[in-house]
Amino acid sequence: MNPSTTPLLSVDAIEVLYEGVIVALRGVTLQVTDGAIVALLGANGAGKSTTLKAISRLLAAERGEVVRGSIAFEGKDVAGLPPHRLVERGVAQVLEGRRCFSHLSIEENLLIGGHVRHRSGPKIRRALDRVYARFPRLATLRRRQAGFTSGGEQQMIAIGRALMSEPRLVLLDEPSMGLAPIIVTEIFDAVRKLNRDDRVSFLLAEQNASMALRVADFGYVLEGGRVAVQGPVAELLARDDVKRFYLGESADGRTRFIDPHRVRRFVPAPAGAINT
């Protein structure tokens, strides 16, 4: 699917503090256009999850706050909205680690996601049927307790629960974490189909850069809470530094293994600048 050039989400030079003193993000600026899949890459601790939680208004639960900058969805400032109001407007987050309600069934987990936007039973049932059409395995296991499902099935539950609110934008945090490669491929195939067929936009935070760049249209690389590199996926894949530090390739095409925590990968760009 070809994304439009209209910004669906605009994050402008946000700075995030934890406990009022710990700087987690330093002037992060990014956009997600309508119909796009945008990858947010970086090592553990670079600020990917913090960026998503800043957008979804979930920082307060971790004693964090946005102290500078602005966040707009569909052209309207959303920095002051409570999380459930943001969901009503069409933004849903799938948190890292899946976080299913283990004592509830798969279907009960999914139904929880539908009540923010849907008040009637028929609308919730239609949303549920659409989720089962995307994830047939969940339909087969709908009565099973979520705590007795596999990691891949729990990731499907988490994504399906977000889809129950019929979002325009999904903030997807580390969907490949702890999953077997064949399941990771299945999850990312589902993301691509949701984007192509239902025009759901995604902001995808992921350490598995190879898989993320395979489905994304545009990418941002975070380092030390700043945007160090950004550009269309084709440009990122052509960069030697991205190949070296995120795809494990050297300039001659050979595979290399580098500890990303022991080296500085990029010179951070000024807030809002494009470093290509």
Q: Enter the DSSP assignment of 46.
A: S
Evaluate whether 34 touches 169 at the Cβ level (below 8 Å).
no
**Mean local confidence (pLDDT), 214-230:** 95
Asked if pLDDT for residue 238 goes beyond 80, the answer is yes
Pairwise CA distance, residues 184 & 187, whole Å: 5
Nearest-10 Cα torsion for 140, 146, 150, 156 = 70
pLDDT in tens, 36-54: 999 999 988 899 999 999 9
Asked if pLDDT for residue 267 goes beyond 50, the answer is no
Strands 201-205 and 37-41: parallel
* The residue type at 141: L
Taken in order of first residue, the domains within the chain and their CATH numbers are: 1-90+170-180+194-276 (3.40.50.300), 92-166 (no CATH)
Q: Which pLDDT does position 244 carry in this prediction?
A: 83
| Biggest CA pair distance of the chain | 59
Q: Which pLDDT does position 260 carry in this prediction?
A: 47
**Mean local confidence (pLDDT), 23-43:** 95
Question: What does the DSSP assignment read for 73-93?
Answer: ETTEE-TT--HHHHHHHTEEE
- Altogether, the residues listed in the chain come to a count of 276
Q: Which of 42-46, 105-109, 228-232, 271-275 has the lowest mean pLDDT?
A: 271-275
Strands 7-18 and 22-33: antiparallel
Evaluate whether 166 touches 88 at the Cβ level (below 8 Å).
no
Banded model confidence at residue 128, pLDDT cuts 50, 70, 90: very high
Helices 106-114 & 151-163 angle (0-180, nearest 10): 30
pLDDT in tens, 135-181: 999 999 999 999 999 999 999 999 999 999 999 999 999 999 888 99
Burial of 8 (0-12, 13-18, 19+ CB in 10 A): buried
Pairwise CA distance, residues 260 & 42, whole Å: 9
- Beta-bridge mates of residue 161: none
Which phi and psi (to 5°) does residue 39 adopt? -95, 135
Banded model confidence at residue 273, pLDDT cuts 50, 70, 90: very low
Evaluate whether 137 touches 146 at the Cβ level (below 8 Å).
no
Banded model confidence at residue 75, pLDDT cuts 50, 70, 90: very high
Tokens of 67: 């102290």
Q: Which of 55, 43, 114, 47 is nearest to 260 (CA)?
A: 43
Nearest-10 Cα torsion for 66, 67, 73, 75 = 180
